[in-house]
Structure 1
Amino acid sequence: MSVDLHRWQRDESRPGAREAWRDAALRVIAPSLVLFGVIVSVGWLIMGPLAGLQGESAVNRELQGGPSRSTVWETTTGIWSRIGNTEIIIATCVVVCAILLWRTRQWWYSIVPAIAISIQATVFVIAAWIVARPRPEVEKLDPAPPTSSYPSGHVGASTALYLTFAFMAQRIERTWLRRLVTTVCLLVPLLVSYARLYRGMHHLSDVLLGLVNGVVCALLAWHWLRRRRD
């Protein structure tokens, strides 16, 4: 799926209720079922045929035992990790969606970030329950949420939300500001990913599939409504 960064600006027409529901079903819900199947299948492979290849806890131990280990670094990664917390993701999404609705008066555009994190969360929660992968056998620097290790919900949520913000940032007219906002938005999921590994909360494959989940959900949300190309 190619990313048409200006699709919402070229066609600002208001969709009808029937059109919106149809497009959401065909362009978001149906593809997300395929995404869910892929993530669960990979999880079963990791827990089953590929179980003998697991040695990913070594990555966490290497990060925790490296030269960067310090109280300051633990505090820093703690902040990065909290960016992906559910309450922070939801609060950030609500605030940004409200601002977008106020500025554009286009509800169909304003809900794009909400669609991204909603689909991501649904795929993540059900997949985590089905796969039920234990967390790494290392020191855990964060409280363990009730969900299992695979895939990473923190990484998936931050990727889905901030990648969507990066797409939206292309409307910014000032070049330096557009580039700055885009860079920050793309950097956030990477910081969250590193923090979750460093803090012993996820295996490397959990983080990678969390990134896949977030990226795909952001793309589905961005293209949820058909827009004219002319």
Structure 2
Amino acid sequence: MTVDLHRWQRDESKPSAREAWRDAAARVIGPAVVLFAVIVSAGWLITGPLGGLEEETAVNRELQEGRSRTALWDTTTEIWSRLGNTEIIIGTCAIVSLVILWRTRKWWYAVIPAIAISIQATVFVISAWIVGRERPDVEKLDPAPPTSSYPSGHVGAATALYLTFAFMAQRIERAWLRRLVTTVCILVPLLVSYARLYRGMHHLSDVLLGVLNGIVCALLAWHWLRRRRS
């Protein structure tokens, strides 16, 4: 799926309720089922035939036993990790979406971030329950959430939310501000990813599939409503 960054500017017409429900089902829910199947299948493969990969475990051990862990990095990565916390993601999404609604008066555009994190969370929670992967056998700097290690919910949520923000930021007219906001939005999921590895909460594949989940959900949300090309 290619990213049409200007699709919402070319066609600003309001959809009917029927169009909204139809497009949400066909362009978000249907593809999300396929995404869910892919992530679960990959999880079974990782925990089955590919289980116990020494190369993957080495990443967590290197971060724990090497010189990477310091008091400063412990504090820094705690802040980065919290950017992917459920309450932070939901709160940020709500505030930004309300501001966008106030500025544009277009609810069908303002709901894009909410669609992205909702689909991501659904895929993540059910996949984590089905796969049930244990967290890395290293010292953990955060209390373990009730969900399993695979895929990373923090990374998936941060990727889905901030990638949609990056798409939306392309409407900013001032070039320097547009570039700054886009850079920050792309950087946040990377910081969350590193933090979750550093703090011993996820395997490398958990993070990578979390990124995949977030990217696909952001793309589905961005294209959730049919728009005219002319």
Using structure 2 for the length normalisation, give the TM-score: 0.98
- Residue of structure 2 in register with 1:77 after alignment: 77
- Residue of structure 2 in register with 1:120 after alignment: 120
Q: Secondary structure at the match of 1:227?
A: coil
- Residue of structure 1 in register with 2:105 after alignment: 105
Paired with 1:153 and 1:217, the residues of 2 have a C-alpha distance of 13
Q: Secondary structure at the match of 1:127?
A: helix
Displacement after TM superposition at 1:145 (Å): 0.3
Displacement after TM superposition at 1:199 (Å): 0.2
Paired with 1:39 and 1:124, the residues of 2 have a C-alpha distance of 9
Paired with 1:155 and 1:80, the residues of 2 have a C-alpha distance of 11
Matched, 1:148 2:153: no
Matches within 5 A, 1:19-98: 19-98=19-98
Aligned residue identity for 2:179: R
- Asked if the contact 1:57–1:138 (Cα under 8 Å) also holds between the matched residues in 2, the reply is no
Paired with 2:137 and 2:57, the residues of 1 have a C-alpha distance of 6
- Residue of structure 1 in register with 2:163 after alignment: 163
Aligned residue identity for 1:37: A
Displacement after TM superposition at 1:69 (Å): 1.9
Q: Secondary structure at the match of 1:188?
A: helix
Paired with 1:35 and 1:55, the residues of 2 have a C-alpha distance of 26
Question: Structure 1, residues 11-43: CA drift from partner, whole Å, max 9, x if none?
Answer: 000000000000000000000000000000000
- Residue of structure 1 in register with 2:196 after alignment: 196
Q: Secondary structure at the match of 2:207?
A: helix
Paired with 2:66 and 2:188, the residues of 1 have a C-alpha distance of 22
Aligned residue pairs, count:
230
**Structure 2 unaligned spans of 5+:** none
Displacement after TM superposition at 1:48 (Å): 1.1
Paired with 1:53 and 1:98, the residues of 2 have a C-alpha distance of 45
Q: Which segment drifts farther, 66-75 or 109-118?
A: 66-75
Displacement after TM superposition at 1:55 (Å): 4.5
Paired with 2:191 and 2:104, the residues of 1 have a C-alpha distance of 31
Q: Segments of 4+ in structure 1 off by > 6 A?
A: none
**Structure 1 unaligned spans of 5+:** none
Displacement after TM superposition at 1:58 (Å): 1.7
- Residue of structure 1 in register with 2:205 after alignment: 205
